[in-house]
Amino acid sequence: MSDPLTLNQRFVLASRPSGAPTPENFRLEREALPDLQDGQVLLKTMYLSLDPYMRGRMSDAPSYAAPVQIGEVMTGGAVSRVEQSNHPKFHTGDLVVGATGWQSHSISDGRNIMPIPAGLPSPSMALGVLGMPGMTAYMGLMDIGQPKEGETLVVAAASGAVGSVVGQVAKIKGLRAVGVAGGAEKCKYVVEELGFDACIDHKADDFAKQLAKACPNGIDIYYENVGGHVFDAVVPLLNPKARIPLCGLIAGYNAAEAPTGPDRLPMLQRTLLTKRVRIQGFIVFDDYGDRQPEFISHMVPWVRDGKVKFREDVVEGLEQAPEAFIGLLEGRNFGKLVVRVAQD
């Protein structure tokens, strides 16, 4: 008989989506995990992170990382507890974070996990403000954005896991921070709770006009998470030598065909040339993995002192992951989206 601890529930990729993912693209399976070998640990997933990049991994189009294969566990970061250990560096009860995927349990040789910082209000923060999204925000802003006091920053998806941190760090650095979010409730939160100078609802009919009014001195840094019509409204407002850290393009992740309408590429190219705009894409751990200690050394005190606030949208139960992920791509979440797979 299998030890109950080794009975694993996991979501695998059942089929590749065409356009927006559907529940049928995922399949819930149960399996008995093998016995531990020397140098391995058995992990029980506590929190699973859901992030927009996962949509790209569901596609077999060329990208910066290999796609999830049909029948493979969906990729994803998670906070887990060590249930059993045959590894000298990990002990039963340790909390770790790593890319263990959409599953209730996993076995690791220790190379894809690391201990989480002690004393967090919630272990799930290791998936958000003190994890990949927070580091993405910090490194993209500081290294590519090169913020200077008095400049104007605009960040899309400003209430989300990355955008919320970008704007707050910009304020710490003395910038005017203008957010873009979907809906009055999110915009109110961005200004009143996070301390942005302004936040514009991208669903407003006169969005471009409102954005221009909120940026009377133009835009020096545009932190791009979205693309689409938000980017279109930003381009005419870019100042000479503006910088654009290119983090994500969620508005187009579910697109099954090229957008309709006039070709805006020549106008964009002319703007980039004549205003000498710098635009740079990045993949945070590929490009900045060796600078994680720098990020932690700055972010932990900011979070502890309340200078950087963070909101989570917690979904209960692994079985809810597909629907929650579909909602993430539609902007239904409010804050960093995590699934509580097991109780602390």
Write the single-letter amino acid at 302.
W
Average pLDDT over residues 100-117: 93
Closest CA to 254 of 77, 1, 46, 20: 20
Burial class of residue 157 (count of CB atoms within 10 Å of its CB; 0-12, 13-18, 19+): buried
- The pLDDT, as a whole number, for residue 252 is 53
Planar angle of CA 318, 322, 324, nearest 5 degrees: 85
Q: What is the distance between the alpha carbons of residues 14 and 23, in angstroms, rounded to a whole number?
A: 10
* Three-state secondary structure string covering 172-191: HCCCEEEEEECCHHHHHHHH
What does the angle CA 186 – CA 192 – CA 197 come to, to the nearest 5 degrees? 95
DSSP state of 131: S
Instruction: Give percent of the chain with pLDDT exceeding 90.
Output: 71
Q: Comparing 212 with 274, which gets the higher pLDDT?
A: 212
Among 85, 72, 156, 151, smallest CA distance to 115 is for: 85
Which position has the higher pLDDT, 251 or 128? Answer: 128
323, burial (CB in 10 Å: exposed 0-12, middle 13-18, buried 19+) = middle
Burial of 30 (0-12, 13-18, 19+ CB in 10 A): exposed
**Residue 103 three-state SS:** strand
Quote the pLDDT of residue 1: 34
In terms of Cα–Cα distance, which of 116, 89, 1, 94 is closest to 43? 94
Query: Is the per-residue pLDDT at 257 higher than 70?
Result: no
Average pLDDT for 142-149: 97
Model confidence at 216, pLDDT cuts 50, 70, 90, reads very high
For the ranges 66-70, 116-120, 145-149, 273-277, the maximum mean pLDDT occurs at 145-149
Whether 251 shows a pLDDT value over 60: the answer reads no
- Predicted local confidence at residue 2, as pLDDT: 40
3-state helix, strand, coil in the chain (%, to 5): 35, 25, 40
The pLDDT value recorded for residue 316 is: 97
Which pLDDT tens digit goes with each residue over 278-333? 999 998 888 888 998 899 899 989 998 899 999 899 999 999 999 999 999 888 88
Residue 341 gets which letter from DSSP?
Answer: -
Q: Which of 111-115, 272-276, 301-305, 316-320 has the highest mean pLDDT?
A: 316-320
More confident residue, 64 or 147: 147
Q: Which candidate, 243, 253, 20, places its Cα nearest to that of 144?
A: 243
**pTM for this prediction:** 0.83
Identify the burial level of 114 via C-beta atoms within 10 angstroms of its C-beta, where 0-12 means exposed, 13-18 middle and 19 or more buried.
Answer: middle
Q: What three-state secondary structure class fits 138?
A: helix
User: pLDDT tens, 13-30?
Assistant: 999 998 899 999 999 999
Residues 299 and 165: their CA atoms lie apart, in Å, by 10
Please give the Cα distance from 211 to 224 (Å, whole number).
15
Alpha-carbon distance 228 to 247, whole Å? 14
Nearest to 208 by CA among 217, 200, 219: 200
